[in-house]
A and B are shown apart, each in its own frame.
Chain A
Amino acid sequence: MNNYKHNVLSIEKSVDGRRGIKYTPAKKSAEQYLPQNMLRKAAPKLPALSEFDTVRHFTNLSRLNVSLDTHFYPLGSCTMKYNPKAYEALASLDNFTSVHPYAPVDSVQGSLEIIYGLEELLKAITGLDAFTLQPSAGAHGEFTGALIAKAYHNFNKDKNRTEIIIPDTAHGTNPATAAMAGCTVVNIKSGSDGRVDLEELKKALSPKTALLMLTVPNTVGIFEKDIKEIAKLVHDNGSLLYMDGANLNALIGLVKPADLGIDIMHINLHKTLSTPHGGGGPGAGAVGVVKLLEDFLPLPRVACDGKKYKMMTKNKKSIGSVKTFYGNISIILRAYCYLRQFDTNTLKTIAENSILNANYVREGLRNAFPAFFDMVCMHECVLTLNKEKMPSVKTLDIAKRLLDLGFHAPTIYFPLIVPEAMMIEPCETEGKDSIDIFLGAMTQIYEEAVANPELLLKAPQNCPVKRIDEVSAAREPNLRW
């Protein structure tokens, strides 16, 4: 039994006078160094807790989470694969964590070697010619890519290219990115098989098209089999082709994106390259480009003269910096470690097993929750509900019941073109045994949904809290103590 009362805030446990850390105090007060009018008037309302209080508080908070280390976590599009522990040990080495970004270049050769090394590995696995590791996340990478495309067209005095074509299956970040980059979004409808409709694409392409943003495989988990023709249409139109690499786990070791005709892509290091998701970040969104676009990459970039690494900070064509310094180094380091554990023979097993697992799930749930597009899928499958059999049940209810049975839920209600969508991505690091248990739970939920839907509508019952009324939070926002 745990007598821990789970939702008590640290501030509510505060005991005046308690401290979690002490410093050797200053000899003189701040007033003796600085003018009175520049000083803080009242102490901040922070918790006053001992180190032990703090450790117990946050450790108990951690136990309220479902996580990858503790649970099957088939969150589609997020590639929740196992995060190897050796990389954690290496990322916390003092020699990596204690260096300042402006430290003399001779004193940071190790960190530069890692950055350069990961760029080389990413070039090898994608076939692209150059990378930046500066962006902090996938969406940040998309933004970087859109700016590179604009800079390229501007450089060619092709300034009217202000439109970005985006299929209706795309992640919300794609259109939001286009808007941030100052472009107009041209949405195109997908075909009846969930793929890009070539006729729709032809209609949307115009002299104003800067870029087509395409997720490959797409968010329905299906490979764009016309990708080469798509690339040709885009290129013949003088536009560029951007690949949202959120789903690279389906292609790694099988296909080099450059061979598909991709000009720019981002890779979510926290997805395909196994760096931990951290409860929402930090991740990293490396961006790769073909030779033609290399000069437009953000600065600074790492160069090597064969002996020493250095920073290049100047290039007139560059879009500039998209964040301070060189990127999320501790994430970059973990991704580097991951790729160093594969070679040309083993790299393909990542995608192969992720695809095998997804199809096994799709097939195993055929009778309970059918795939919306009934065909072979890549690394994830998108299922829907049979509403005739379970009229009162929604996908949300299925998700909440899964929590009760000890699983994280799939991604739900995405992609938007699939009604009552459940997007399941098991990842290659799960085996048949754990997937079978998941399939058993899903089958049980299906039977409950048909026979006893009340059980689902009331779920979850076994989580730290019952179902949350999310609307209640937005009505009168309470965002802090």
Chain B
Amino acid sequence: MFNANTKTNQEEMLKKIGVSSIKDLLKDIPGDILYPQYNLPQALTEADLLRSVKTTAAKNKPLSNYIGAGIYEHFVPSAVNAISSRGEFLTAYTPYQAEASQGTLQAIYEYQSCICALFDMDVSNASHYDGATAMAEAVSAAARIKNKKKVLFTSALNPEYRDVLRTYFAGNDLVKFQEVKIKDGITDLEDLKANLADAAAFILPTPNFFGCIEDAEAISKIVKENGALLIAHVNPISLGVLATPGSYNADFAVAEGQSLGNAMNFGGPGLGIFTCKKEYVRYVPGRICGIAKDADGKRAFVLTLQAREQHIRRERASSNICSNQALCALNAAIYLTLLGPEGIKEVAQVNIENAHILKEKITSLEGYSLKFDKPFFNEFVIKCPVPAAKIIKAMAKKGISAGYDLGEVSKDMKDCLLICVTETKTAADLDNFLNALRGI
């Protein structure tokens, strides 16, 4: 289909190689398994492919979305995709040849810088697969730094993340996880204190899975007093207004960066943001871009500190990761450049306001109340008079994806709906939501 050689080309090339057919080049392959039959559907031309896949796309029925729970719908300015879809970015690879990859490298450096600025952290890598795998890498680093196995997280950690952490460390003896209780939607400080002895680290998601903002400063103090490291997980958009991981002395801060200029895409690709204090830079997994000088002494960009990485250290590497989510990181860099210091604050404020407006509206209905009366950013839990699953089903019929059913997480929360409201919703949208809910 996309082969460039014509039949004449092939003949000339075979002649040059000194064989008479392509089959002569395949003599090492056992003959009995060569050229099997493939059960493939009929090949499509481009026009047929476009028609066919558009028909499949039409089987998706996007609803007005109020689900967050790890993936967030935010407005993506048109300039983001216009730039990142340029072939020069899209069809290049990992910048192994730095002199021929200064565009990608400078963009990574700017991504790292924007993320460090937003998070108030010293170091960011060039990105990881997603928020959960970035968290797993931070856990691995913390366990090695402290040379201890115990790592704590709260029951308010996203269940998908918990699952990924469990998978990542099931095969080795590096980490043993222990769960800290929550009280009224946030970390139970007494239970945290009771469990911290001999722990390598505490994982603090804030806002947590239930949308509640934690008292990060108080928690950080407790964690540090007990000699453990703090791994924060944050919503990057929230940092337009919320206190930064750097301000409460986090050692590592990770995040799902999809919300920065990337569409929801049914959950992937994500953008794993990985940051840390500078003393831990040698524990960072994957690519890092730094400034170097060229032969004329001019500023240039390269991948650096590679002695941590798999292609050099092999089984002693800090991680097996080879790639990064470069294009998603580029989207994030363009997005943060477009927003700037004022825009990121503005969009965060709109999220807070919209979420609080919808919370007020819903809790004005009889039988609906706020499950956890705690400060929140753009996500909150509503206790409903009927099972959340029933509401989700009924709202979907009205074109609205009402939220995440917390019954999926806990039997005790079958009547709880996790609702997310971002800047993408207008006042009219919020009224629609309420009217639809009222009719159930």
Task: Mark out the residues of chain B between 89 and 143 whose CB falls within 8 Å of any chain A CB in the assembled complex.
Answer: 89-104, 106-107, 109-110, 112-114, 116-118, 120, 122-124, 126-127, 129-133
In this assembly, does A293 line the interface, its C-beta being within 8 Å of a C-beta of chain B? no
A274 cross-chain contacts in B, Cβ below 8 A:
2
Which residue of A has the minimal Cβ distance to B206? A38
In this assembly, does A2 line the interface, its C-beta being within 8 Å of a C-beta of chain B? no
Contact of B67 among A100, A280, A360 (CB under 8 A): A100
In this assembly, does A75 line the interface, its C-beta being within 8 Å of a C-beta of chain B? yes
Contact of A176 among B2, B287, B310 (CB under 8 A): B310
Cross-chain contact B40 with A347 (CB below 8 angstroms) = yes
B96 smallest CB distance to A (angstroms):
7
Q: A98-B62, A172-B310, A343-B42 are in contact. Are A181 and B171 (CB under 8 A)?
A: yes
In this assembly, does A182 line the interface, its C-beta being within 8 Å of a C-beta of chain B? yes
A363 cross-chain contacts in B, Cβ below 8 A:
16-18
Q: A280-B323, A470-B292 are in contact. Are A185 and B346 (CB under 8 A)?
A: no
Cross-chain contact B264 with A23 (CB below 8 angstroms) = no
Interface size on B, residues (CB 8 A): 199
In this assembly, does B167 line the interface, its C-beta being within 8 Å of a C-beta of chain A? yes
Q: A26-B350, A185-B315 are in contact. Are A38 and B104 (CB under 8 A)?
A: no
A467 cross-chain contacts in B, Cβ below 8 A:
99, 294-295
Cross-chain contact B102 with A64 (CB below 8 angstroms) = yes
Contact of A429 among B2, B57, B59, B320 (CB under 8 A): B2
B130 cross-chain contacts in A, Cβ below 8 A:
136, 323-324
Cross-chain contact B26 with A65 (CB below 8 angstroms) = no
A460 to B38, CA, bound (A): 47
Cross-chain contact B49 with A28 (CB below 8 angstroms) = no
Contact of B129 among A40, A137, A477 (CB under 8 A): A137
Cross-chain contact A478 with B290 (CB below 8 angstroms) = yes
Task: Mark out the residues of chain A between 362 and 377 whose CB falls within 8 Å of any chain B CB in the assembled complex.
Answer: 363-364, 376
Cross-chain contact A68 with B87 (CB below 8 angstroms) = yes
- Mask of B281-303 contacts with A, CB within 8 angstroms, 1/0: 10000011111111110111110
In this assembly, does A473 line the interface, its C-beta being within 8 Å of a C-beta of chain B? yes
Q: A320-B164, A323-B132, A477-B304 are in contact. Are A101 and B87 (CB under 8 A)?
A: no
Cross-chain contact B263 with A376 (CB below 8 angstroms) = no
Contact of B103 among A62, A106, A109, A172 (CB under 8 A): A62
A102 to B168, CA, bound (A): 23
Interface-located stretch among A232-240, A329-337, A445-453: A329-337
Cross-chain contact A23 with B320 (CB below 8 angstroms) = no
A190 to B281, CA, bound (A): 35
A463 cross-chain contacts in B, Cβ below 8 A:
99-100, 102
Cross-chain contact A180 with B340 (CB below 8 angstroms) = no
Q: A64-B102, A111-B266, A255-B34 are in contact. Are A340 and B293 (CB under 8 A)?
A: no
A154 smallest CB distance to B (angstroms):
9
A322 to B392, CA, bound (A): 28
Which residue of A has the minimal Cβ distance to B353? A26
Q: A63-B103, A255-B36 are in contact. Are A30 and B352 (CB under 8 A)?
A: yes
A408 to B336, CA, bound (A): 31
Cross-chain contact A323 with B92 (CB below 8 angstroms) = no
A277 cross-chain contacts in B, Cβ below 8 A:
91-94
Cross-chain contact A100 with B264 (CB below 8 angstroms) = yes
A59 to B107, CA, bound (A): 11
In this assembly, does B386 line the interface, its C-beta being within 8 Å of a C-beta of chain A? no
Contact of A147 among B1, B22, B171, B264 (CB under 8 A): B171
Cross-chain contact B268 with A329 (CB below 8 angstroms) = yes
B440 smallest CB distance to A (angstroms):
15
A320 to B107, CA, bound (A): 34
Cross-chain contact B43 with A341 (CB below 8 angstroms) = yes
Cross-chain contact A70 with B87 (CB below 8 angstroms) = yes
In this assembly, does B224 line the interface, its C-beta being within 8 Å of a C-beta of chain A? no
Contact of A95 among B58, B69, B101, B132 (CB under 8 A): B58
Residue pairs across A and B with Cβ atoms less than 8 A apart, 18 shown, are: A9-B106, A46-B114, A55-B82, A70-B88, A93-B57, A95-B58, A137-B323, A279-B101, A319-B167, A320-B166, A321-B132, A322-B167, A323-B129, A344-B40, A352-B22, A431-B4, A468-B98, A480-B124
The 6 closest A-B pairs by CB, nearest first: A182-B172, A325-B267, A431-B4, A69-B87, A101-B267, A20-B338
